[in-house]
Structure 1
Amino acid sequence: MDFFNVIKRMDSISIQPFLFIIIFFSFQPSISLEICSTLCGSQTIRFPFRLIDQPQYCGYQDFELSCQVQETTQDVTILTFPYAGNFSVFHIDYAQQVVQLSYSEGCLPGILLQGLNLSGSPFMSVNTQSYTFYNCSTMVQYPGVTKIPCLSGFNFYVVAILTDGYTPSTSVCLEIAKVMVPMSTDWWEDGMTLGWNQPDCRWCESHQGTCLFENVGAGLQVRCGSAIKHGLPSNVRDALVFGLGISLVCLIAIISCVKLNFTEGQNHPNPEILMTHPRSTPGSTKGLDRQTIDTYPTTLLGPSRCLPNPRDNICSICLCEYQANETLRTIPNCSHYFHVDCIDQWLKLNATCPVCRDKFEEPPPVAPTLSSLMPVVAFFTLIYVL
């Protein structure tokens, strides 16, 4: 009896449990990452950060965040420092390992005057510069002089000037203190940028990966998940043995699929051959529906008007500058953002970005075939071997 006849006589139903087992276990690494990755408003929360109600293995030590629910606006992500209080998280740059914060409880320059205490946290100031604070009886009109509204009063003005820059007259201004300021485009309006060194996941992020614990519950060593690796892990022998076992199950699953296709091909015509699928012409590009548009993330600008790209501060559709309390919508494919009202009207008529003109229509679904099944099964096996 030749090999092909053996395939025909195999009971496909008895092999189906093995196919379920391989698919279930092959998805386990990605499932664990998906469970830990979450959203608070439009902010993506993932390793090394985690929300306080998530399992501890989802984040690194002292990287806990809380999600403050808002009734009329987007939920706000809160980062709490032991000695500095609560800060709103505006943006997390996982590749550069920096976080943009906004001090919503009061006056950030006042905290800086008292001394920003980041003890007990893994965060540190990034690109600090020395500023001298002055108490002036009249407002000093000079380039580089920054007024601090939250510290100024009815008949006096508190200003900050680079220590190496202009020095005002002592008859008008009295020096208060010299302060090291974490640089940000709007620090005097309660904006601040901090960074962290550990865990160091910059290489992993640059290779489109995500850090996670090497061994959950056993130390703080991290590894790179879903990224290109150099070399093999320490338990390579066990992984290879296990991978060979999974490969055997894959072979059984493929044989089952071949048998099913052969049997059904003899008894039933392929309905897909008889079906015709209309193809859209290049000139028939339509806009997006409301449901699709609503899936694109939105951002509510605070008083500091912190933008992902500070240079991109004008809506390319209406040509108006972004203002506080305005809502922006971001196109995920290219990260360009616009006023919600402007981009919503555009997307109803056009399925392209107004700036880069990239199309982001979803491709039509492709029916799975035996040839497409084989690389998928091989990919599942590779995940376990590595």
Structure 2
Amino acid sequence: MANDLSILFFLFTFFFILHLVFTHPSTCSTKFCKPGEPGIRYPFRLKQLQPDERCVFPGFDLSCNGQNRTTLTLPLLGEFIVDSIDYVLRVIQIQDPDDCLPKRLHNFTTASSIWTVQQYSNFTFFNCPKESRAMDMFMREPCLDGHNYNVVVIATDEPGVDLINLMEELRCNYSQTISIPTIDTSFTPSGVTYTSSIRLMWKEPFDCIICEAITDTLGSKGKAGFEIGCPISPSDHDVDDSPVNAAPN
């Protein structure tokens, strides 16, 4: 019985690969905004370098900004820098170019979006006098500082009585508690650290995981990028690593 299953699996894999070879859909070569930037290919495209609509799955447009950095624009939130893309795990890592996630993502939501968030963490912010000892006890968030106060951040849900009392002793006023998409958080005696990057996952397109693992390439069969293809020929996923002089979007 085990041998029969092995033979069936082999035949299925063999004919599946033959199907991929002979259907031979069109593909789009990998592009870069500049050397060192993430390689962009289906389901994404760089609009300046890959104008063919077959190079992109709807909603996956990327651009090169004025510094030739790869960027993703999120509705209502604006432009973010793309740090990396994992095409197998379907994860894109982005960062706020101004290193101030709390300001950019205060009302962040993935509702009605092609993206999902790996992890959320709750952070509470306090406004403290510049000479307060809180500056030495908790993590700073300089991008939120005001003229007469500095901002510290603590990883917590709505602050409890003990924390409120401590912060009052430090002459710090409660500002807000918000949920921020994070990669990870680390609790330390001095507070919490969080990065300026977040990871977004996409569910679709999800076809052709085997092909992705084999060839590192996905292609689009359809005229508008809706149907996924799986090219095998090495010539179909050549890399074009020439930088682009970013054009206005």
Check conservation: 1:60, 1:220, Cα contact below 8 A: yes
Q: Which runs of 5+ in 1 are unaligned?
A: 1-25, 228-294, 298-386
Pair 139,226 (structure 1): closer, same or farther in 2 beyond 3 Å? farther
Q: Alpha-carbon deviations, 1:215-257, whole Å to 9, x = none?
A: 4137834243339xxxxxxxxxxxxxxxxxxxxxxxxxxxxxx
Q: Distance in 2 between matches of 1:226 and 1:127?
A: 35
- The yes-or-no answer on 1:136 pairing with 2:128 is yes
User: Cα distance, 1:120 vs. partner?
Assistant: 6.1
Residues 1:85 and 1:119: Cα distance change in structure 2 (over 3 Å): farther
Higher relative contact order (CA 8 A, sep 6+): 2
Superimposed CA distance per residue, residues 289-347 of structure 1 (whole angstroms, 9 cap, x where no aligned partner): xxxxxx999xxxxxxxxxxxxxxxxxxxxxxxxxxxxxxxxxxxxxxxxxxxxxxxxxx
On the 8 A contact 2:135/2:152 being kept in 1, the answer is no
Partner amino acid, structure 2, of 1:173: C
Q: TM (normalized to structure 1)? A: 0.44
Comparing both structures, which one devotes a greater share of its residues to strand?
A: 2
SS in 2 for 1:131: strand
| Residues 332-381 of structure 1: CA deviation (Å, up to 9, x unaligned) | xxxxxxxxxxxxxxxxxxxxxxxxxxxxxxxxxxxxxxxxxxxxxxxxxx
TM-superposed CA distance for 1:102, in Å, is 1.8
AA aligned to 2:63 is: S
2:206 to 200, 205, 216: 200
Give how far 1:135 is off: 1.9
Give the TM-score, by structure 2 length: 0.65
| Higher gyration radius (CA) | 1
Partner of 1:46: 41
Please give the residue correspondences for 1:33-112 in structure 2 after superposition, counting only pairs within 5 Å: 33=27, 35-41=28-34, 42=36, 43-53=38-48, 54-70=51-67, 75-104=68-97, 107-112=100-105
Q: Is the 8 A contact 1:97 1:202 kept in 2?
A: no
User: How far does the alpha carbon of each residue in 1:101-131 deviate from its partner, in whole angstroms, 9 at most, with x for none?
Assistant: 1212573221233x12456641232211122
Percent identity over the alignment is 29
> Post-superposition shift, 1:55?
0.7
- Contact 1:81 1:118 survives alignment (8 Å): no
Contact 2:208 2:228 in 1 (8 A): no
Are the structure 2 counterparts of residues 89 and 163 from structure 1 closer, same or farther at C-alpha, using a change threshold of 3 Å?
same
Q: Does 1:147 align with 2:140?
A: yes
Corresponding residue to 1:158 among 151, 171, 180: 151
Gaps of 5+ in 2: 1-20, 186-192, 234-239, 243-249
Aligned partner of 1:326 in structure 2 is: none
Quick check: 1:82–1:120 contact (8 Å CA) kept in 2? no
Task: Pick closer, same or farther for the CA change 1:120–1:39 going to 2, 3 Å.
Answer: farther
Note if contact 1:51-1:67 (Cα within 8 Å) is conserved in structure 2. yes
Report the alpha carbon displacement of residue 76 of structure 1 after superposing the two structures with TM: 0.7
Instruction: Count how many residue pairs are aligned between Structure 1 and Structure 2.
Output: 197
Write 1 or 2 for the structure with the bigger share of helix. 1
Contact 2:118 2:183 in 1 (8 A): no
Paired residues of 2:145 and 2:151 also in contact (CA < 8 A): yes
CA 1:218 to 1:61, structure 2 compared with 1: closer, same or farther past 3 Å?
closer
Structure 1 residue aligned with 2:219, among 192, 212, 228?
Answer: 212
